[in-house]
Amino acid sequence: MTAGNTKPTQESTNSMATRRPTLHRAVRLSGLFVLITALTSCATGRIDPTDPVGDNAKQIDGIMRLSGYMAVAVGVFVAVAIVVVIIKFRERPDDDPNDLPKQIHGNKKAELTWTIIPVILLVFLTVVTIPAVFDLSGKGDGRTIKVEGQQWWWQFSYDVDEDGIPDIVTANDLVIPVGEEVNLEILSNDVIHSFWIPQLNGKKDAVPGRVHHWRISSPVPGIFYGECVEFCGLSHANMQMRTVALEQDDYDAWVEDQMKVSSVPTSASAKRGYDLFGRHCVSCHVVNGVYESAANGNANLTSGYAPNLTHLMTRTSFAGSVFELYNDDGSLNIADLREWVRNAPAQKPSRPDNRQGMVSFAEILNEADLDDLVTYLTTLGGHPPLMPS
């Protein structure tokens, strides 16, 4: 634009035309960001890392919040500095395009400042974090529970009498007593998994050939949800679990009940289901007291390639905690259980041909067989000591 001439030049017109799409793009991206943020508040998942309950989880949450506040402060400072520089040194209409700012090479004060301050912040976070790392690692004085990750479910073994042989083997629901810091021995039977109950503690990897020690505790009764957080194959997203914290009396009653073995059912339908279970299921599943072949002669050692079902009905979920075992009104979730038995791969992605997941019985069992087999499964155990709210 020349003096005395108010008509925009071709150069300024092109500049404005360039700015408009950029502004429109920024508005659209901002709107998309707001929409995504709003949609995240609509999530219905039960896993909540922002509400720690156990002491270990609270310690981790404190460090995370501290580092988060520091990161926000640094981010705000940098953003404000950028805005100030943009406004203060922006190009003005009366600027001579040939008049460049003073060209300099480096600034020792500035470089030392933006190097030393981050170092101080990192050292501070290190000093705060290292004691927590050592405090959360290692074995405590409480009882020990063996946690085994397997594609795609979790198994929990309890050596009640501490003779080296597990007395209780269960799946999906890790039951612990309130007020006791429980030791977990975490390992894997196939690939690397990662055990995480965020309201009780942080993450701990389950690695084949290694045993990692971890501790969890809950000061209050409740059900706390978790999941595998290390990608482990086809159904990684469906490898969930939950921890059920019980008052000491309820926990003792649960242990006593879990020590009982199963027996042959007496009703006609359940007996037919029992026979079907013996023909189709015992190569992978164990029912202590009646079907123990999958455990190589010792039902308390392992469940083969699938969960021990001796006390199935005392759990709150099945299929790697993907499905609830009970409806909201307390009745059994027969519909999902029946469909799972009929065609498990259709309900949860798996590789049954490679012993990774349950096979489909859709072409093997008829409707009457399914009814009988599900009836038998409903006789395995009593009722969960604590139901999801």
Q: What is the pLDDT of residues 169-222, one digit of tens each?
A: 999 999 999 999 999 999 999 899 999 999 999 999 999 999 999 999 999 999
Q: Is residue 39 in a domain?
A: no
| 204 and 337, same domain (yes or no) | yes
Average pLDDT over residues 225-241: 93
What is the pLDDT, as a whole number, of residue 262?
Answer: 87
Of residues 249 and 110, the one with the higher pLDDT is: 249
Count how many domains the chain has.
Answer: 2
| 122 and 156, same domain (yes or no) | no
What is the pLDDT, as a whole number, of residue 1?
Answer: 45
| 113 and 176, same domain (yes or no) | no
Q: How many helices (H) and strands (E) does the chain have?
A: 8, 12
| 165 and 187, same domain (yes or no) | yes
| 113 and 186, same domain (yes or no) | no
Q: Is residue 37 in a domain?
A: no
Are the beta carbons of 385 and 254 closer than 8 angstroms? yes
- What residue numbers bound the domain in which 381 lies? 144-389
Closest CA to 208 of 195, 196, 229, 192: 192
Whether pLDDT at 162 is above 60 = yes
DSSP state of 330: S
Whether pLDDT at 352 is above 70 = yes
Q: Is residue 41 in a domain?
A: no
| 247 and 126, same domain (yes or no) | no
Q: Is residue 100 in a domain?
A: no
What is the pLDDT, as a whole number, of residue 343?
Answer: 92
- How confident is residue 20, by pLDDT bands cut at 50, 70 and 90? low
Task: Convert 108-120 to b/e letters by CB count within 10 Å (16 or more is b).
Answer: eeeeeeeeeeeee
| 269 and 388, same domain (yes or no) | yes
Q: For 216-232, what is each residue's pLDDT tens digit?
A: 999 999 999 999 999 99
Q: Is residue 151 in a domain?
A: yes
| 247 and 354, same domain (yes or no) | yes
The mean-pLDDT minimum among 88-102, 163-177, 255-269, 327-341 falls in 88-102
| 151 and 132, same domain (yes or no) | no
What is the pLDDT, as a whole number, of residue 106?
Answer: 79
DSSP three-state, residue 101 = coil
Q: Is residue 206 in a domain?
A: yes
Closest CA to 60 of 204, 187, 223, 182: 204
Are the beta carbons of 156 and 79 closer than 8 angstroms? no
| 287 and 168, same domain (yes or no) | yes
Q: Is residue 29 in a domain?
A: no
Closest CA to 158 of 170, 166, 148: 166
The mean-pLDDT minimum among 102-111, 246-255, 289-298, 379-388 falls in 289-298
Whether pLDDT at 377 is above 80 = yes
CATH number at residue 234: 2.60.40.420
Reported pTM: 0.80
Q: Is residue 341 in a domain?
A: yes
| 176 and 320, same domain (yes or no) | yes
Whether pLDDT at 2 is above 60 = no
| 132 and 273, same domain (yes or no) | no
Whether pLDDT at 296 is above 70 = no
